[in-house]
Each structure stands twice: as structure tokens, then as C-alpha cells.
Amino acid sequence: MKNALIVLFGFLMSLNSSSQCRDIYGNPAECPTEGDSLLVYVNALKVYDFYEKNPDYIKLKTQKLRTRHEVLNCFYQLRVAVDSFKTIWNRRERFLSGENLPEVLMPRDGKNIPIDSYYLRIDSYRFYQRELENGILNMKSPFPVYDSRIFPLVINSYENRYGRDESNGDLVNVALYIPVTVKPFRMLTDSEKVIRKKILGEFDTRRKDPPKNFSYTVPPSNAVPMYYRSPLGGGSLIGYMVGRRFRKCLPTDEYYWTLPQWLRDLLNDNASLEKYLRSKIGDYYEGLL
């Protein structure tokens, strides 16, 4: 069972002669219990069934999270989505208080959506979050739960094309745990064990440590994260504003290796990067660090 858990969660790593649990960020963590796994499993069943069996939604694509870095990037995207939702929430609150703001997208009932209906922290490892999008939210959908010690394996995209309510047109990008891969091991049937082994064989979510002579750089304490925002929602961390200058992500930053190649190409092209930064920041921007 121990070996099965190592493959399933992908968070155990060897430290000399012993092992200890770590979260997706590589930080020491309490090992998830069978109860933790059961919570994720039951929730994954509800979320998966809602979108897979709902006649209003069609699946557009599946992105497999094959490596730890891809999972790490997924969790950063979740964090960016929360930041974006809070920005939208604040604009709605200002609009509802009478401030004259252009282009404020409000729910059809004219009420703001509470932040804890989109994101709710449970404890230091677990949280609820709707999805990676925050335009149209189907509040009838199950509230997905995430555990930073347990790796989701896919990001699925769905579109509500056939609904007749306010969710029509809803575009969903949601990180999912495949239920059979997070079901407590002792509860698995023999056929489920075979299925799980086959699914997990396509992924490598084990943590890869850097070479011994490799050290990551640490941004200054006053650095403000800056994200490249995707037109489809979400974003990727590309660096930090330190005062009015930009400190870009470097190969010595662990997060650098979670970025898609085209964003790494942008970071390596200072002329194109500065053009992008000036388009987003304007005269406040004073150059690269």
C-alpha cells in the first residue's frame, strides 16, 4: 500500500534514508490521511459526473497534467483566477454603491457573487474553488475541492451550449482529479486497481529535485508578482515589479520551468518583453532590473 500511495499522490521524496511528505510546491507537509483522500474522491465524483453527464455541457478538450511542473502551473493559475475574481468583485461592489464605472459585468439578478461562493479556504492544504474562469459561474455545479498534497491529473474544458438558464454560454476550465486515482486504496476493486495503474502510467507527478549545485534565486521582499494574462482567462507569473522596474523570471527560478515555451521565448527577448510591459504598465514602467 505504501508504494501505491507514493505513485498516487506524487508527494513523497527520499531524504537520505527516510521519506517525508511534501506539497506540490516542495514544502514539507503533513501526509494526507485516508480521510483526506476520501474527501477528494467523493468531491471528484460529483464534479466529474456533473460535467460529463450534463446534457447542457459539451467537452471541448482535455489537458493532461503529466509532470509536477504542469501541476504547479495549474495551481498558480488557480491563484491568479482568485485574484481576478476579487478584482471583479470589488468593481461590482463599487458599482452597486453608486460609483459610475463603465463595463461592469453583473449577474442577471443584479447581485454580486460572494467571494466564498467562488473560493473558500478550508485549511493550510485544502480549498474550494469553482474553476479557472470567473465570467459566467454556474452556481448549481458542485464546488470542487483541491488539496495541495494531492495532484489533479487533467484540466477539462466544457461549454454550456444547450442550457436555457443564465448558465447558457458558460465556458468552464476546471482542474480535475480522476476519481479512481484518488479513491482510498483499500476501497478499490480489483478492476479499479488495473484501471488506476493504467491511468497513472501516463503521468509522472513525482517531484524532481534540482541538481545539487543548483540554487533558486529569491525575489526581494517588496516585489509585486506580475502575470501574463491569457485572453481566455487565467495567467502565468512572468516576474515581479520592484518599485517601477521589472525583475523577470529567470532560469534559476523554479517557476520559470512551468512556463510554456512561447512565454520563455518572450522573457528571453528583452525588446518584445519591454514592449509588452509598456503596453500594460505605461509610463510607470522604468525598465528591466
- Which band of pLDDT confidence, cut at 50, 70 and 90, is reported for residue 220? low
Q: Is the pLDDT of residue 31 over 70?
A: yes
CA pair distance 166, 240, nearest whole angstrom: 38
Q: Is the pLDDT of residue 219 over 80?
A: no
Residue type, 58: I
Residue 122: predicted pLDDT: 94
Q: Is the pLDDT of residue 210 over 80?
A: no
Q: Which residues contact 48 (CB under 8 A, 6 or more apart)?
A: 176, 178, 179
Task: Please report, for residues 40, 147, 276, 287, the alpha-carbon distance to residue 271 in angstroms, rounded to integers and kept in the order given.
Answer: 45, 40, 9, 11
| Over residues 92-117, mean pLDDT | 86
CA pair distance 21, 148, nearest whole angstrom: 11
Contact 155, 65 (CB under 8 A): yes
Q: Which residue has the higher pLDDT, 24 or 155?
A: 155
Give this prediction's pTM: 0.66
Contacts 24+ apart (CB under 8 A), 26-32: 26/207, 26/254, 29/125, 29/148, 29/149, 30/125, 30/149, 31/149, 32/125, 32/147, 32/149, 32/150
Q: Is the pLDDT of residue 206 over 80?
A: no
% of the chain exceeding 70 in pLDDT: 83
User: Residue 111: which region, alpha, beta or left (left: phi > 0; alpha: psi -120 to 50)?
Assistant: beta
% of the chain exceeding 90 in pLDDT: 29
Residue 8: predicted pLDDT: 44
| Over residues 49-75, mean pLDDT | 88
| Over residues 231-253, mean pLDDT | 76
Residue 71: predicted pLDDT: 86
